[in-house]
Amino acid sequence: MPQFLLLKYYRGGPEQHHPFPPMDQWDPEDVEAHLAFLRHVTELLKENGEYVEHQALTPERTWVRYGGPDAAPVTTDGPLPETSDLVAGWWKVDVESRERAVELAAYTSSEPGPGGGPLYEWIDVREVMSGSTSGD
Amino acid sequence: MTDNPTGQLDEGALRALVPRVLAGMVRRGEDFDAAEDALQEALVEALRVWPERPPRDPAAWLATVATRRLVDARRSEAARHRREEETQAEPRPAATEEGDDTLFLLFCCCHPDLTPASQVALTLRAVGGLTTHEIADAFYVPEATMAQRISRAKRSLRGRRLDQPGDLAVVLRVLYLIYTAGHAGRVDLAAEAIRLARQLTLATGEPEARGLLALMLLNHARLPARFDPEGRIVTLDRQDRGLWDTREIAEGVRVLQSALAAQTEDRGPGRYQVEAAIAALHDDSPSAEETDWPQILAWYDDLVALSDDPIHQDPAAVLGRAVAVGHVLGADAGLRETDRLREVLGDRHRWHAVRGHLHELGGDLPAAAAAYSEAARRATSVAERDHLVRQAARARAV
């Protein structure tokens, strides 16, 4: 069955449907409700038999490239426009179809935001290329 | 079992006993879910105990141990005395008809209410006798996820009548799904699907079951030539035909012929027999140049005619036919056939790959390169993506 990443971003993606401040400025109970929902999504995926893994990334980013022969790697953490995409984490799911992945992403995006209403966060759905060699 | 130092055990033979034992338990009125769990435990126990103490009647041993597990589970008693009991278990063999059992269990596992993923998982466990770990491995998901999928499937079967004849078309589709899932981890799913299809043909005289087995064998025979030593895809027209498994081809042809012979005037061959016939024509051809495309096209005409609305119901058949049309009537005719599928398959890599092939056939290499690039962008497996990128680069370099 196809596998997909449901990617969450710190920033980037289409314009927010519903602008919201960074999470550290939310009321504590809203933060708790939000995090509880994310745990619930993971539990739900496990219950459905659709779960593969989930990961969260720190927002720290270092770009690295080969520096050339006998030279140290070149690194940079900027300058990058504030709008550049920055992945925050993902769920990897194993589902019947792309439609099911989209359905799960939409549900994830209904996570509670400040004030308890849905966040309408954009979720990036990406298919994972299979490494298996088909028998057909 | 493979690293058991004390003895050799034929795991395939052990797993072949599963349908008979499980079906017997369910027929006696045991709950499918609980019986299946208990039998899995008995299998694990057999792998442990048999190398030293092989039973006189393996199926009866499994049935007895599994039934005790059920009873134990009900009483939730301590398991202290199990081992002694098991090594002495030698009950009367039950008289059952093996073929019926396989069919009965396949109908349970391929219940139309289950999702395809659940049907596949349950079939591999309850009929194939594979462990949850092996199935999880083969499908690249965590064991806990596969365990959950199986137990959910079994739960949704609870309370449903399992003594009714099931839907053979669903069973065939599930076995074919297992076949095409390919090879990953320790388990060769294609080989497992062939084993199950062979069991099915012993259980039913339905020609389509034999058609499916023939199709699997005739495709599987080419597997050794399908990848080069570096793991790169080799297309049919470039394969080293000396690597094809002639024994498998011979068996596939034999099985197909017996299926086709069973057809009647008012009921022609079904889709698996037709697809097997196409595969047989490829397998029969001494070289790519000598492929009997007119005959292949005739079979594709039959395949497409099986659907009322082939464009939407069976686009893969229409696409395969377009290739045959290209070889018989020319590349342009083939491309026109693919045009009809643009709306349905236009965002799939296979559609673009076929168009690349047809453009190449017609000598239009720039168009071929563009189509291969489009296909590569949409590929969903690494091997196919890499292959299509190479095809595009090759067409551009000429």
**For residue B95, what pLDDT is reported?**
41
The interface residues of chain B toward chain A in range 142-171, judged by CB-CB distance below 8 A, are 142, 144-146, 148-150, 152
Residuewise pLDDT in 10s, chain B (398 residues) = 444 444 567 777 888 888 888 888 887 778 888 888 899 889 989 988 988 888 899 999 999 999 888 888 777 644 545 544 554 554 434 444 556 788 888 888 998 889 999 999 999 999 988 889 989 988 889 999 999 999 999 888 887 766 666 789 999 999 999 998 865 556 788 998 999 999 899 888 899 999 999 999 999 999 999 999 988 999 999 999 999 999 999 999 999 999 999 887 777 899 999 999 999 999 999 999 999 999 999 999 999 999 999 999 999 999 999 999 999 999 999 999 999 999 999 999 999 999 999 999 999 999 999 999 999 999 988 889 999 999 999 999 97
**For residue A81, what pLDDT is reported?**
67
Rounded to whole angstroms, the Cα distance separating B52 from A75 reads: 61
CB B189 within 8 A of CB B135: no
**Longest CA–CA separation in chain B, Å:** 76
Q: Chain A contacts of B193, Cβ < 8 Å?
A: 135
**For residue B163, what pLDDT is reported?**
61
Q: What is the number of structural domains in chain A?
A: 1
Residue of higher predicted confidence among A34 and A131: A34
**For residue B4, what pLDDT is reported?**
44
The answer to whether position A66 is within a domain reads no
% residues pLDDT > 90 (chain A): 70
The answer to whether position A7 is within a domain reads yes
**For residue B81, what pLDDT is reported?**
52
- A99 and chain B in contact, CB less than 8 A: no
Q: Nearest Cβ partner of B381 from A1, A96, A132?
A: A132
The answer to whether position A13 is within a domain reads yes
CB B334 within 8 A of CB B323: yes
The answer to whether position A90 is within a domain reads yes
Q: Which residue from B163, B39, B164, B167 is spatially nearest to B114, judged by alpha carbons?
A: B167
CATH number for A36: 3.30.70.1060
Fold of B292-398: 1.25.40
Rounded to whole angstroms, the Cα distance separating B143 from B137 reads: 7
Cα dist. B11→A17, B7, B44, B53, B146 in Å?
57, 12, 11, 15, 22
pTM: 0.83
> Looking at CA atoms only, how far is residue A111 from chain B in angstroms?
23
- A49 and chain B in contact, CB less than 8 A: yes
The answer to whether position A68 is within a domain reads no
Q: What is the DSSP letter of B94?
A: P
**For residue B225, what pLDDT is reported?**
95
| pLDDT tens-digit series, residues A52-105 | 999 999 888 889 999 999 999 999 876 666 668 899 999 999 999 999 999 999
- In what helix (H) or strand (E) does residue A8 lie, and over which residues does it extend? strand A3-11
**For residue B327, what pLDDT is reported?**
98
DSSP string, B21-35: HHHHHHHTT--HHHH
Rounded to whole angstroms, the Cα distance separating B379 from A16 reads: 31
> Hey, are the CB atoms on A135 and B117 less than 8 Å from each other?
no
> Hey, are the CB atoms on A131 and B184 less than 8 Å from each other?
yes
Task: Write out the residue range of the structural domain in which residue A94 sits.
Answer: 3-58+77-128
Q: Nearest Cβ partner of A52 from B141, B181, B227?
A: B141
Domain boundaries, chain B: 11-95, 292-398
